A = this chain, B = another copy of it.
Amino acid sequence: MHRTDLIAIGELAARTGVAVSAIRFYEAKGLIEALRSGGGQRRFLRADIRRVSFILIAQQLGLSLEEIAAELARLPAQRTPNAADWTRISTDLRARIDARIFALERTRELLDQCIGCGCLSLKKCGLYNRGDKAAQRGAGPRYLLGDRAGEIAEVAGSGG
C-alpha cells in the first residue's frame, strides 16, 4: 500500500472513461463509496476502478443501476471483486444473455411466420399477441417495467 493508493475523482474518471458527474451519481446511488480528503474532496481506492468497470460491463448486459447495486452489495465493501466473485456474477450474467438470445430467436421465428402470411392479424399473429399481453399488465409506462429487454424474455419464456 503506497501513499498513492487513494485517487481523486478525476483520475477515477480518466481511468474508467466515465464522466466525473457520473461517478458522483453512482456514489449518490450507493454503487461506490468514497473517502474524503481533509478539504472534503472525494478519494477513491484503486479497487474502485474495478468496481466502476464492473458497472459498465453490467450495464452493457442490460442491468439497471439498481440491479448492479444489488450485485455489488453482495461483495465485501471496498474490496476488489476477486476471481470467485466474478465467476459467480458472470455466470449469472451469462444466463441472462442466454435468455435474451433465446427470446430473440423465438421472436424471429414468429416474425418469419408473419413475413410468410403478411396478415398482421390480431387473432393469429404471435408477435402481436405478445404485445397485447404486455399491454395488459396494468398501468405505468411499459417501458419502465422492463419491456424493452426483459419483456420479450418473459413472454417468450412463458410459452406464447
Contact = CB atoms under 8 A, between A and B. Distances in A.
A127 to B, nearest CB: 5
A41 interface: no
B128 A56 contact: yes
A94 B152 CA distance: 15
B83 A151 contact: no
Interface residues of A, number: 58
Q: What's the number of copies of this chain in the assembled complex? A: 2
A62 interface: yes
Interface string A50-88: 100110110111100000000000000000011110110
A1 to B, nearest CB: 20
Consensus secondary structure, chain A interface: helix
Interface in A20-69: 49-50, 53-54, 56-57, 59-62
A80 B139 CA distance: 29
B17 A132 contact: yes
B56 A118 contact: no
The listed residue with most B CB atoms (<10 A of its CB), out of A17, A60, A135, A139, is: A60
Contact of A131 (B59, B111, B119, B152): B59
Given A18-B135, A149-B148, A104 B100 contact: yes
